[in-house]
Structure 1
Amino acid sequence: MKKTLCLGVILLCLNNVTWAQRRKLIFQQPKMGSMFTIQVWSSDSLKAATAASQAFLMVDSLNQVFSDYNPDSELSKLNRTAGSSTEVKVSPALWDILSISKEAWEKSSGWFDVTVGQLTLLWRQSRKEKKLPPVETLKKAIQTVGAESLLLNKAKQTVQLKRPGTKLDLGGIGKGYAAQRMLEMMKKAGFEESLCDAAGNMAIGKNPSGGWKIGVEWPGQRDQLLENWLVLNETAISTSGDVYQSVTINGKTYAHIVSPKNGLGVTYQRQVTILSKDAAHADWLSTACYLLPAEKAMQLAKSERAEILIIDKQKSGFKTIASEGFKKLLKEE
């Protein structure tokens, strides 16, 4: 479920901040195939830079665990045990993210599923060639999917991939997880007033002016934002969408996000923004709600105590649906 988040969230800082001897510092590094950013308010630029560097190094270590591109990653090695009776002892980070992912699969009735790795690979090739996968090939790939075969032994902290051919793909949660861990590290280093952005998956700390000002972009309209802004503190935000990553095959437009049900990208154009307790939670929830029908997406967000904004692109224009909590957080310029 490799998910390249659409650039639906644009971050801006409040311009009227006055804070003695303090200023907003920005640190950026490319990680996990995307740009990661740390913003922090501090009067000690050297100490802040050191903390940010440590946070970026932590992301590198997570990538060594989570990557499905690196054949030597811990995830890749685990994938190669699929179908065997091997129970693999995994690192705390991999255990943590797989535990969250298994719970997300259960809560979303299977719409968020990290066992879609075979489908991801197949759809990645189809998008490249602009050709649908052969029916039998797709059918075999679908048979490897289903997190009921992802067996977690909490007592031993071991993982078993029971079904032959199953491949795990953490693309729908990995960046959000990394963003949250970055923020935790910044706070531990004494920087409570930080925001960590992993390719649009943001873990948000405090802000000295009362909130970080976030603009939500209209689908497919670069730099064109909703009229109102979000002003956020101590929360997380994630956006999933398809407008910049879609592909047209045989006259039909498909999203890059793969459905675990049929192995293909969905054929509607949608953008989903989630506000939630932490960035890993917001990340997987935005993926699940992107795939679900709008009404069920709203129900899932409510059950998870998250706020949601859905923007559907239709022939007649944009249709927006927002939870009441999301609406209340929107502020006028």
Structure 2
Amino acid sequence: LDTLLSAIVKNSLKIAKESEGKFDFTLWPVFRLWHFGTDSAAIPDSGKIDSALQHVDYQNVKIDTLSGERENLTQLHVPSGVELDFGGISKGFALEMARKELTKHGLRNFIIDAGGNLAIEWSKPDSVQIYVRHPRMEGEFWGQFPVYQSCGIATSGDYHFYFLEDGKRYHHILDPQTGYPVEKTASCSIVAPTSTLADGYSTAVFVMGMERGSQFIESRSELEGLMIYPGNDSLQTYLSSGLQNRFKRMEVGE
């Protein structure tokens, strides 16, 4: 593997292991059955999902570092039938590479925005205001919070690629254990030291749901997070301890 692909694989394995498979980059055989983002998006046959799930398990992917004459070589082992999909981490990884390249050339205090993912390089005394999209109202914001230092931020939501059937929303964030869309989360935003980690963890925590996801965030001092999830009659908000005194809920039209 080349250096960049090796880094993507290693980061993907790290997040998959730490999330106990809630982030799984071997999910492609199931994901492609749904045809999200196309006119043919529909609920797949359950038998096809069950069959595809037999090839889903990040633990089947192994990576070794071999010593070469001039440099260390990385070797990837992927069993037959296992297909890799780095869509849950690649945007964050690309942002992180861009941030490093810009800082290498002397740039400071900037934000790179890639539609829901941010790479922030910041050392000014004032803050950067982060706006969280409303998961059910296009063009509206759920709330905002400030950040004061360099970090990566990513949001995973059930509103990017989805279709409705019999009034139920079927979106593109699948549970690797069931092969079906996660039902108990609408949006998850993660603040992490790098954009790569923010991207992967936002997917993992989204899949975990509020109860387990909040425990996961609080157990890691390097993370902050915000989750929007269905309550009894309306959407509710979970805020990690570091965001509770910084977050401002916004009204429609604000």
What TM-score do the two structures reach when normalised by structure 2?
0.87
Runs (5+) with no aligned partner, structure 1: 1-89
CA 1:250/1:237 → structure 2, altered by over 3 Å: closer, same or farther? same
What is the rounded CA distance, in whole Å, between the counterparts of 1:249 and 1:161 in structure 2? 36
**1:136-151 equivalent positions in 2, closer than 5 A:** 136-151=47-62
Match of 1:173 in 2: 89
What is the rounded CA distance, in whole Å, between the counterparts of 1:116 and 1:207 in structure 2? 38
What is the rounded CA distance, in whole Å, between the counterparts of 1:134 and 1:240 in structure 2? 26
**1:126-205 equivalent positions in 2, closer than 5 A:** 128-155=39-66, 156-162=73-79, 164-205=80-121
What is the rounded CA distance, in whole Å, between the counterparts of 1:149 and 1:264 in structure 2? 21
What is the rounded CA distance, in whole Å, between the counterparts of 2:37 and 2:137 in structure 1? 26
CA 1:303/1:154 → structure 2, altered by over 3 Å: closer, same or farther? farther
What is the rounded CA distance, in whole Å, between the counterparts of 1:272 and 1:172 in structure 2? 13
Paired residues of 1:275 and 1:282 also in contact (CA < 8 A): yes
What is the rounded CA distance, in whole Å, between the counterparts of 1:293 and 1:228 in structure 2? 21
Match of 1:74 in 2: none
Indicate yes or no: 2:235 matched with 1:318. yes
What is the rounded CA distance, in whole Å, between the counterparts of 1:139 and 1:151 in structure 2? 24
Match of 1:119 in 2: 30
Match of 1:273 in 2: 189
Indicate yes or no: 2:198 matched with 1:282. yes
Q: Cα distance, 1:182 vs. partner?
A: 0.6
Paired residues of 1:239 and 1:286 also in contact (CA < 8 A): yes
Q: Cα distance, 1:173 vs. partner?
A: 0.4
> Would you say how many aligned residue pairs link Structure 1 and Structure 2?
243
Indicate yes or no: 2:121 matched with 1:210. no
| Matched AA of 2:61 | L
Indicate yes or no: 2:239 matched with 1:328. no
Indicate yes or no: 2:17 matched with 1:101. no
What is the rounded CA distance, in whole Å, between the counterparts of 2:8 and 2:91 in structure 1? 11
Q: Cα distance, 1:203 vs. partner?
A: 1.1
Paired residues of 2:129 and 2:144 also in contact (CA < 8 A): no
Q: Cα distance, 1:269 vs. partner?
A: 4.8
| Matched AA of 1:122 | L
Q: Deviations over 1:175-210 (max 9, x none)?
A: 001111111111011101121122221110116462
Match of 1:50 in 2: none
3-state SS in 1 of match to 2:181: coil
What is the rounded CA distance, in whole Å, between the counterparts of 1:131 and 1:103 in structure 2? 32
What is the rounded CA distance, in whole Å, between the counterparts of 2:29 and 2:163 in structure 1? 19
| Matched AA of 2:6 | W
| Matched AA of 2:162 | S
CA 1:128/1:267 → structure 2, altered by over 3 Å: closer, same or farther? farther
Q: Cα distance, 1:246 vs. partner?
A: 2.3
What TM-score do the two structures reach when normalised by structure 1?
0.68
Instruction: Name the Cα RMSD after superposition.
Output: 2.2
What is the aligned-residue identity percentage?
26
Paired residues of 1:272 and 1:289 also in contact (CA < 8 A): yes
Q: Deviations over 1:64-92 (max 9, x none)?
A: xxxxxxxxxxxxxxxxxxxxxxxxxx111
Paired residues of 1:123 and 1:264 also in contact (CA < 8 A): no
CA 1:249/1:228 → structure 2, altered by over 3 Å: closer, same or farther? closer
Q: Cα distance, 1:118 vs. partner?
A: 0.8
What is the rounded CA distance, in whole Å, between the counterparts of 2:120 and 2:234 in structure 1? 32
What is the rounded CA distance, in whole Å, between the counterparts of 1:193 and 1:288 in structure 2? 29
Structure number with higher helix proportion: 1
Of the two, which has the highest radius of gyration?
1
CA 1:216/1:135 → structure 2, altered by over 3 Å: closer, same or farther? closer
Match of 2:177 in 1: 261
Indicate yes or no: 2:149 matched with 1:238. no
Paired residues of 1:180 and 1:279 also in contact (CA < 8 A): yes
Runs (5+) with no aligned partner, structure 2: 67-72
